Structure 1
Amino acid sequence: MNAKPSTQAAIADFTSARKLIELLARIHPLLLVYDAHGVIRWISDGFGSLCSDAQAMLGRPLRAMLPKLPQGEPLEDLRSRFEERGFLPNVLLDLETHDGARLPLEVSVLRLPESEGEALFAVIARPGDAPGHEPAEAASSILESAPDAILAVDPHGFVRYANAALARLVAEDRENLRNRPLALLAAGSRDIEQLLAPLGGDGPSGELELRLRRSEGGPVPVAVTVSPHHDPDGNLRGAILCVRDATTQRRQNELARRNDELEHCVQTLAHDLRSPLVALLGFSRLLRQDYADQLDDTGAHFIDRIEQAGRTMEALIHDLLELSRIGQPGERPSIVDPRAVLLQLHAEVKPRLEAADIELVLPVDPPLVFCDRTRLYQVFSNLIGNGIHHMGACKGARIEVEVVEDEEFHRISVRDTGRGIAPEHHLRIFEVFQSVGSRRDGSHGTGIGLAIVRKIAETHGGRAWVESEPGHGSTFHVTLLRR
């Protein structure tokens, strides 16, 4: 086994920071590490080759290697900037080389993870007169128009180009980003490792999920793809990084996860409630059948109230389960004739229509729609049932169903001549447990029917909405994506 260079022996003392230091050293030839007392604890081979006595520098103050460190107010200003942002980019300093000459350096400072409670800092340097390169004018124009943020770095991990989208993403001036070590853009040590690993040759080549620093506000989650950049002769010139803001996607994933948890909770709760509810309704029926002659009017009224509450709870559990099942695996969308579904439903609700003296008008030859048949039945059932329940007292009560198609969607419309709905309630009524007013018989629904309609529409690529004014009836619309 080869022994470590003596200038790097001190890295063994910092196990928690060792991996990151080694990764930085593979990308940045000029790297040294110092502690909170300004004492040099580790020097890269590249830095060591410039010093007159690299071994003697270990354990000595940083000023011994960089004699022209700022003094007084400039130093305090640098310290303040470092404390505020956690890093310090692109400071011009001089290094005293082994032959006594002064080499201008562009230095950046990065805070490393603490090791055994001790603060460590990395100095990443590049020659102050090192040439850079910009993309050709035509390529630069294309990159500026790209919707995603794009970075170009050289083989040593220094930013050579950042497009406008990248500057907006990290809220930085583009000129300030140029020549900055790539590591200074990462929000934390884990993010640095993920970002630099592909450049060091031992990281994943796919899409990386990490966080970047922002000059304003907290870190921003991003997805990064790193691609090596070679010249025509095959020599590595650096890498191109495509960066995409993952904030929205992360929020959507988190929302989807919470929705899944909520739906699972609803399913579990609904199933657990069914058993005691069945017992409650069963015993109330036994009381009515076996003890009716022993109950006075008040007792019979109490049993009526128990059964009514039980049936309401039964309907609520049923609707909750249906709401949670919509969109689950097992549904089979197919070409469905809506008239056949409507005729079935019409036969079922005919007694209620006749009792309320409501006319139901169905389309004669509607277009076929692409939907799970059970879900289409639920859409019609909830919308027509909603019209019956909230018709109110009116002459010529009427519910009319229409199904039309355009290039992209089938649209179902259910119009009624009922009481109408105030505009401020148009969105709220599609939420769970939300309803407006009581039914014709004075009772209240579960407040889930229209939420079921909306979820069915959304899982079939469409949406649901209402057009209504008080006293002028309502028209509920549902769109379903065509096949």
Structure 2
Amino acid sequence: MNNAIKENKNHLLLVSGCVFLALIIFITDLYLPLGIAGGVPYVAVILWGLWLPSKRYILVCAIGCTALTILGYYFSPPGGELWMVIVNRIFALFAIWITVLLCIEEKNHKAELIKAKKSIETRANTILNHASDGIITIDELGTIDSFNFAAEHLFGYQATEAMGKNINMLMPEPYRSEHDQYIKNYLESGIKKVIGIRREAVGLRKDGTTFPIDLAVSEMYVDETRMFTGIFRDITHRKETEEKLEKANRKIQQILNSAGEGIYGLDLEGNTTFANTTAEKILGYKEEELLGKLQHALIHHSKPDGTPYPREKCHIYAALRDGKVHRESEEVFWRKEGTPVPVEYVSTPITENGKLVGAVVTFKDISERKRIERMITAHTKDLKKANEMLYRSNKELDDFAYIVSHDLKEPLRGIFNFSSFIKEDYYDKLDEDGRSKLETLERLSKRMEALINSILYYSRLGRSEEIFEPVDLNTVLSDTLDNMQSLILESNVDVRLPKHFPKVFGNKTRIGEVFQNLIANAIKYNDKPDKWVEVGCNMIECLPDGNKNKTNQNQSYVFYVKDNGIGILEKHFDPLFRIFKRLNGRNKFSDGTGAGTTIVKKIIEQHNGKIWLESKVGEGSTFYFTLGEKNGNEINQPKPINSYS
């Protein structure tokens, strides 16, 4: 509104000036003789019209000046010849209208320039306001001259709020207080510190919050006026991404540095791009000593014997050529000090968008492993010799036991036979003491024969090659209990088989002997009036926790023989499996040799199994055993089986 009033006032002053000038010229013309061209000065009035806003003012001035020129012809004092007077007036009118045409042409040209300027300004403003980056222009005093839409969005100010204000309103402290001095220093020194340089800065929004910006400042002149343009963008997301990447890189670096293996990267030229802490420790180099260096020339230049290792044969660099993973376990890297370190490594190619860009090498110092391998090799040789000696010794011992026991049977049989003959022929002629000694001789002969037979059987277990095949334990137990039927009836014992048994892989006869020995001992060492023996099997997961570690997890079943007999003290658990070890007196429960459990243990070990027991004195015992890793997969559903009693 104020601008319109001011503009109208200016127009009125210009029109008034134009009229005043025309009147002065007209009055002057009235006092001049007709011979003088008094109409020519009206050209100044026409030229005055150029300052007026519209072409019609020029035409009005031209018509008015033409009228005044004609009136001057009639009212001016006479003078000069008629033809000269007429020529002067025509010349004046010609000058007036030529000036009019020129002024109108100038007005048209000026209008076109203004239109073009407005078009350019409109286009520039459209571009500025549709730019994704904020664009602000300021003058030498830091006053905002333009403020595009992106700037409005970023800072929260409308353009009308920002224009005419100092640019430091968009800066937090301490930059706000220092900015004017920056401009002053530049204007005085001409030294550019931020102009033409892209840098990061901090912006201040209308709501008081700050945000990071990427800023580029340039200098320009508009109508000889120095201006500064700032182009900026919000880089909050970029900074957050950079921070996340930095955290990720730190995490990756921590992972790399905590790895027990050396890790380094290669570019396509074979230069080292990074190395972790373990690589530094193994090789003796700092990371900065490795970066940018040819890896092969630095640490992989020679073979273990010191001969040159051609680069083209290097398996690490092969990954850079063929894009495949390469592994080696018998090579060396060379430390900074010049000594070799045996390593195993994997060279893995790196691709980006299907293009090979480098490789990552992971390696491990295998010096300790090599040392252990040498020790193992040496110990293996020693162990092999010891095993051969032990094998020969055991074989000799087995042969000796077999030969001795076999050869002892003949004289022992003779002693027993002759004692029988004496008993038959001279028993009634001997006194009580003689008879007792003769019976003792006969009894000891029998016991000696039983011991020799046990030694023979035990030695045969290791001498013959056993046949292993699928065995149905239900059939084995049925046959075993049939063979023991008389003992079961005589002892009045209840033998329980609560479930079906699976099939196993083993020797049918030997497995039958295991069950027979354990069931016989369970019957033999029982002083209860109501005796019972339970034979069963369980999945390993059903075992008491204390015994799970005694079995191989690949085994499916554990078998057991349980009784309510006299029980065994824990201190006798291990001695129980030694040959000829008896826990009870010779006249108590039976007259056995003490070899049964030893034979059972050996048979189970031949089946790659284990045996152990649980027992409480006075309550009974349970013997558990497994039969190796190849138990049958055919498992019948558990169901009761008729007991033998």
Normalising to structure 2: TM-score of the pair? Answer: 0.38
As a proportion of its length, which structure holds more helix?
2
As a proportion of its length, which structure holds more strand?
1
Normalising to structure 1: TM-score of the pair? Answer: 0.49
